[in-house]
Amino acid sequence: MGHRPRKEMIAETRAKLVAAARHAFGTVGYAEASMDDFTASAGLTRGALYHHFGDKKGLLQAVIAEIDAEMVGRLKVVSARADSLWQGFVDECTAYIEMALEPEIQRIVLRDGPAVLGDPSQWPSQNECIRSMSENLQKLRDEGTILAVDPEAAARLISGASLHAAQWIANSDDPEATSKKAVKAFNVLLEGLLKHAGRPQNSNQPALIGSTQD
Amino acid sequence: MGHRPRKEMIAETRAKLVAAARHAFGTVGYAEASMDDFTASAGLTRGALYHHFGDKKGLLQAVIAEIDAEMVGRLKVVSARADSLWQGFVDECTAYIEMALEPEIQRIVLRDGPAVLGDPSQWPSQNECIRSMSENLQKLRDEGTILAVDPEAAARLISGASLHAAQWIANSDDPEATSKKAVKAFNVLLEGLLKHAGRPQNSNQPALIGSTQD
DNA sequence: TATTTGACATACGCCTCGTATGTCATTATC
DNA sequence: GATAATGACATACGAGGCGTATGTCAAATA
């Protein structure tokens, strides 16, 4: 069993800590997660944690950065495979809601994160999501598809709405039905951005979102 | 110095605890607030706290209930004094954003609350705000002003957007400018709800919100 | 080979929370 | 009106959790 290069061992230790913390934070929550416990579950001690991440908050930052990077990647895939910019944007929003339904994301990124690390708009990572959305909105504006709203402002409003929609859905008695209601209302709001207001008088039929329709 | 009736003394104790906790939670945050410290600042001990509220979370619930009741009251005043239902609704949304700018509300209700007590949509109190908004939307739908969206869904999306807008504003370098951008974008989204899409092609001029324009 | 660096583990003290217990005033019972 | 019972608190105690200071040992460096 030849020893792996040093760099790799260290990276593995960091990864193990992040993984263990991610699991603990995602299940019992940040406050209830004992550093002794989850470092032990990774075969390490708090010593390693403090050495690599400074403190518990530092580890939370690392965990969030990891999750957020995954989220950005997934969002880029979604928007890239759409036919139009607008459709890509709408799909991205829907995907954002769907991701926010995942317990790990909801708990760590959307609840504990802001409480422990402060407002997410200040995080370098979270801004990636917003920036990605802002860029799309900017393009849509240049293209003349949407009204002349500030892209970042719209992006933040939309991400806030998505986030709350997701929490509402996740905690509802009937997530399926709730999800449909939320997505429909969400589309109505998004269409408010469109320059030509070509929308139906009666919105009881499915809205123009694509990816979640069955 | 005649002793006040017993009931009043107890209510006063509860009120003192809630006030002290509210101040501590609002300034240093829930996690950093020492029960020993803020009970002492009220001239009491943790004994009183545990007797009345069970635990730290119980006290947080009481604090949030108090703040939320105030918020509902303020929102009702705002919507009541508007000319039309729609204008009342728009004003209420703006007021919601403005309230979310207050550090105490932001910290206790919007950040620590969800982290400690779980999703706000499950709180009896927070639902008051949503319900109030939902009722207004229901009326607007009955009146034929807005499209046939689910009122609760729309209310949740809007409150989520408001909340994030507020946090964005509060943490920005230039809250004034940011606020204007946010409110403008917010109005564009809200107008998406309107049945007759009578909106300008160019939204560079002030939107139709009233209360925050100078 | 001697030295230094750095990745961890161990040991210690402080703080905080929750509970169990105690005390004293008020209320109920006779 | 004396006594018992209730309830509103304070005090005392124990358990964990966090952060830091210190120790150890392997790897890089010279």
Give per-residue pLDDT as tens, A63-105: 999 999 999 899 999 989 999 999 999 998 888 888 888 889 9
Q: Enumerate the residues of chain B whose CB falls inside 8 A of the CB of residue A160.
A: 160-165
What's the one-letter identity of residue B10? Answer: I
CATH code: domain of residue B200: 1.10.357.10
Does A8 share its domain with A107? no
Q: Provide the percentage of residues in chain A whose pLDDT is more than 90.
A: 46
At residue A200, does pLDDT exceed 80? no
Q: Distance from B43 to chain A by nearest Cα, in Å?
A: 28
Average pLDDT over residues A27-55: 93
List, for residues A96-138, the tens digit of each pLDDT value.
888 888 889 989 998 899 889 988 878 877 777 788 888 889 9
Dihedral of the alpha carbons of A139, A143, A144, A145, in degrees to the nearest 10: -70
Taking alpha carbons only, the member of B151, B162, B153 closest to residue B110 is B162
Task: Round to whole Å and give the CA distance between B197 and B195.
Answer: 6
Burial per residue of B114-152, b for 16 or more beta-carbon CB atoms within 10 angstroms, e otherwise: bbbbebbbebebbebbbebbbebbbbbbeeebbbebbbb
Query: Same domain for B207 and B144?
Result: yes
CATH number at residue A33: 1.10.10.60
Distance in Å, alpha carbon of A135 to nearest chain B alpha carbon: 16
Whole-angstrom Cα distance, residue B111 to residue A114?
6
For strand D, list residues 22-61 of chain B whose Cβ lies within 7 Å of it: 39, 43-48, 50-52
DSSP-based three-state secondary structure for A149: coil
Distance from CA of A107 to the nearest CA of B (A): 8
In this complex, is the C-beta atom of B163 within 8 Å of any C-beta atom belonging to chain A? Answer: yes
Q: Are residues B120 and B191 in the same domain?
A: yes
Rg (CA), chain A: 20
Asked whether residue B103 falls in the same domain as residue B163, the answer is yes
On whether both B13 and B113 belong to a single domain, the answer is no
Question: What's the domain range around A204?
Answer: 64-214
Mean pLDDT of A173-187: 88
Hey, is the C-beta of A170 within 8 angstroms of any chain B C-beta?
yes
- Where a domain ends, among B35, B54, B73? B54
Q: Measured between CB atoms, does A154 come within 8 Å of chain B?
A: yes
- Has residue B38 been placed in a domain? yes
B213 lies in some domain: yes
Q: Are residues A201 and A170 in the same domain?
A: yes
Q: How many CB atoms lie within 10 A of CB A138?
A: 16
Q: HSE on the CB side for A35, CA within 13 Å?
A: 14
Q: List the single residue in A with minimal CA-CA distance to B148.
A: A203
Asked whether residue B70 falls in the same domain as residue B153, the answer is: yes
Count other Cβ atoms within 10 Å, centred on residue A199.
18
Number of domain units in chain A: 2
**Spatial distance between the Cα atoms of A74 and A83, rounded to a whole number of angstroms:** 17
Same domain, A46 and A77: no
Q: Which residue is nearest to nucleotide D28 (CA to C1')?
A: A6
Mean of pLDDT values over A5-10: 78
Of the given ranges (A177-181, A186-190, A203-207, B177-181), which has the lowest mean pLDDT? A203-207
* Per-10-residue mean pLDDT, chain B, length 214: 65 93 95 94 93 94 93 92 92 88 90 88 77 89 92 91 87 86 89 66 36 36
Q: Are B76 and B132 in contact (CB under 8 A)?
A: yes
Query: B59 in a domain, yes or no?
Result: no
Nucleotides on strand C lying under 7 Å from protein C-beta: 7-11, 15-22, 26-27
A97 domain-assigned: yes
User: What pLDDT band is residue A4 in, cutting at 50, 70 and 90?
Assistant: low
State whether residue A194 is helix, strand or coil.
Answer: strand
Asked whether residue B87 falls in the same domain as residue B171, the answer is yes
Among A30, A167, A188, beta carbon nearest to B121: A167
What pLDDT is stored for residue A197 in this prediction? 57
Q: What is the pLDDT of residue A198?
A: 52
Residues A95 and A10 reside in one and the same domain: no
The pLDDT assigned to B78 comes to: 93
- Mutate which of B57, B164, B205 to test chain A, going by most A C-beta atoms within 10 A? B164
Instruction: Answer yes or no: is A32 CB < 7 A from strand D.
Output: no
| Cβ(B68)–Cβ(B96) below 8 Å | no
Q: Is residue A201 part of a domain?
A: yes
Using the beta-carbon criterion (under 8 Å), do A161 and B165 form an inter-chain contact? no
A59 in any annotated domain: no
Query: Which tokens go with A198?
Result: 């070509």
Give the tokens for residue A46: 């708090």
Same structural domain, A44 and A79: no
